[in-house]
Chains A and B, each alone.
Chain A
Amino acid sequence: GQNIDQPTEMTATEGAIVQINCTYQTSGFNGLFWYQQHAGEAPTFLSYNVLDGLEEKGRFSSFLSRSKGYSYLLLKELQMKDSASYLCAVRVSNDYKLSFGAGTTVTVRA
């Protein structure tokens, strides 16, 4: 089976930076994804890493180290609307299926 771990909850202040870590042990690896999910809504795609290194997209960045089985999602200049659950997911083969971590609930406080 797949094992994907991420913290359950994180709290940060508006304007600050938060880093959400994800470690994985999977039977294969064909990409790591981060999704954002607001309460009562479907997950929306944030980022994708398949090679080692940092991918930056506006206020959000994602990092991958395949040798360590480790990724993080960095959220900068936090806004209240960033309060959501952030899901780490791994694609283990070429068949598009994703295995998800349990998600990290981020609460942004004024």
Chain B
Amino acid sequence: SAVISQKPSRDICQRGTSLTIQCQVDSQVTMMFWYRQQPGQSLTLIATANQGSEATYESGFVIDKFPISRPNLTFSTLTVSNMSPEDSSIYLCSHPVGGRSNEQFFGPGTRLTVL
């Protein structure tokens, strides 16, 4: 699996502001995904980041709130817009690793706290 890094690793933000999270993979990957993990809960898929086209969002998530960019096969950003305390979560990017299981390999995550 390719190595994934995320920036920032954590941040504390004021409500109403926006934060852009970067995900960098050290080799080209076809697909990238963004997940959210709210405190004490499991992971929920936000969207599939498509290279060169608009992201595909899951039910309950919209582009205006979570705009995503994927300019190339190694990089993606997720913006959390007009934040509220309910957006306090860990945000993780991932990619499938191929092979028999093709499991998702997760980045280290970005821990966001909104005050």
Q: Do A and B bind each other?
A: yes
Partner of B44, one of A42, A48, A100, A103: A100
For chain B residues 66-100, which have a beta carbon within 8 Å of chain A? 92, 96, 100
Whether A100 and B103, one on each chain, are in contact in the complex, defined by CB atoms closer than 8 angstroms, is no
Which one of B31, B41, B45, B100 lies within 8 Å of A98 (CB-CB)?
B45
Shortest beta-carbon distance, B45 to chain A, in Å?
6
Q: Is A102 an interface residue (CB 8 A)?
A: yes
Could you tell me if B42 and A100 are in contact, using CB atoms closer than 8 angstroms? yes
Q: A33-B101, A48-B103 are in contact. Are A100 and B43 (CB under 8 A)?
A: yes
A97 to B101, CA, bound (A): 13
Q: Contact between B33 and A97 (Cβ–Cβ < 8 Å)?
A: yes
* Interface residues of B, count at CB 8 A: 22
Q: CB distance B101 to A42 under 8 Å? A: no
Cβ of B97 to closest chain A Cβ, rounded Å: 8
Annotate A72-110 by CB proximity to B: 1 below 8 A, 0 otherwise. Answer: 000000000000000101000001111111110000000
Report how far A93 CA is from B92 CA in the complex, Å. 21
C-alpha gap A95/B31 in the complex (Å): 9
Which residues does chain A contribute within 8 Å of B103, judged by CB atoms? 33, 45, 48
Q: How far is the CA of A60 from the CA of B31 in the complex (A)?
A: 29
Asked if A42 contacts B42 (CB within 8 A), the reply is: no
User: Across the interface, do B100 and A48 meet the contact criterion of CB distance under 8 Å?
Assistant: yes
B residues neighboring A (CB under 8 Å): 31, 33, 41-45, 48, 58, 92, 96, 100-109, 111
